[in-house]
Amino acid sequence: MAKSIALTLGAEASSFSFVRLDRDKLYGRKERQIVDQDGRRCASAYLSSDGAALVPSGGLALLYVDEGFATIERSTLRAVDDQGADVPLVPSTLGIEQELEGPIAPQRLLDHAIHTVYQLQSETLGAQLAEALGSGNIFCAPFNFRDDYQRQMLFLLRNDTGTFALIGSPRGFAYVSREVAPDAAADEADDLADDLDFTML
């Protein structure tokens, strides 16, 4: 049985089953199929540079090739930091209660790049959380679908369609607006550009 997203708000515990949303589920999809002269579907493959090997689709994902053209299996790869020390895996949060933070400002959500959206179905829902989500509040909590080297963030919200979990990572840059004063160095460069006489070229 699949594990649930388990969350707590104060002393109340809530859990949700979830299904991933993608463009195919929202809008449907079309696929162009290539067939041979007998109507059988063709599959893509990779031909090695020497023409000696034909690698089926997905076969290249199992190995890496180093600068000396030696093959390295994915299972032998490990993550290290700047000093060469192993980076520990961050465990999955599925089935493990995570404390919700919030309500949070919408800007907190906008400061993250959202790469996965889950539609949630409540298995158990605390009264306090249900009321807060119904009022349009947003909450967040740490999240990892599987063991990984970095922790992601889950944003919990509800609208007229249902309850959703938006999974993302910090963008790492700040937004600018038209009201921000231009850089002095840029102004100086623009002044010099105005002095150019293109008739001399």
Q: Which residue has the higher pLDDT, 143 or 71?
A: 143
Give residue-wise pLDDT tens across range 72-99.
Answer: 777 777 788 888 888 888 899 999 999 9
Domain hosting 147: range is: 5-25+90-170
What average pLDDT does the segment 150-158 reach?
A: 94
- Residue 189 is predicted with a pLDDT of 53
- Residue 43 lies inside a defined structural domain of this protein: no
- Residue 107 lies inside a defined structural domain of this protein: yes
Share of the chain above pLDDT 90, in %: 43
Residue 126 — very low, low, confident or very high, per pLDDT cuts 50/70/90? very high
Number of domains in the chain: 1
Q: Which residues contact 32 (CB under 8 A, 6 or more apart)?
A: none
The phi-psi region of residue 199 (left if phi > 0; otherwise alpha if psi is between -120 and 50; otherwise beta) is alpha
Q: What is the DSSP string of 163-174?
A: EEEEEEEE--S-
- Residue 33 lies inside a defined structural domain of this protein: no
Give residue-wise pLDDT tens across range 15-25.
Answer: 999 999 877 77
- Residue 124 is predicted with a pLDDT of 94
Asked if residue 148 has pLDDT above 90, the reply is no
What average pLDDT does the segment 158-169 reach?
A: 94
Phi/psi of residue 199, nearest 5 degrees = -70, -15
- Residue 54 lies inside a defined structural domain of this protein: no
Residue 117 Cα to chain centre, angstroms: 9
- Residue 61 lies inside a defined structural domain of this protein: no
Q: Please say whether the beta carbons of 108 and 157 come within 8 A.
A: no
- Residue 4 is predicted with a pLDDT of 93
Among 61-70, 142-151, 167-176, whose mean pLDDT is lowest?
Answer: 61-70
Asked if residue 196 has pLDDT above 60, the reply is no
- Residue 153 is predicted with a pLDDT of 95
pTM beyond cutoff 0.75: no
Q: What is the DSSP string of the chain?
A: -PPPEEEEETTEEEEEEEEEE-HHHHH-------B-TTSPBP--EEE-TTS--EEETTGGGGEEE-TTS-EEEGGG---B-TTSPBPPPBPP-TTS-EE-EEEE-HHHHHTEEEEEEEEEEEEE--HHHHHHHHTT-EEEEEE-SS-BSS-EEEEEEE-SS-EEEEEEEE--S----TTSPPPHHHHHHHHHHHT--GGG-
Structure tokens at 97: 């209660």
Whether the link from the prior residue into 103 is cis, omega within 30° of 0, is yes
- Residue 79 lies inside a defined structural domain of this protein: no
- Residue 29 is predicted with a pLDDT of 78
- Residue 191 lies inside a defined structural domain of this protein: no
- Residue 31 lies inside a defined structural domain of this protein: no
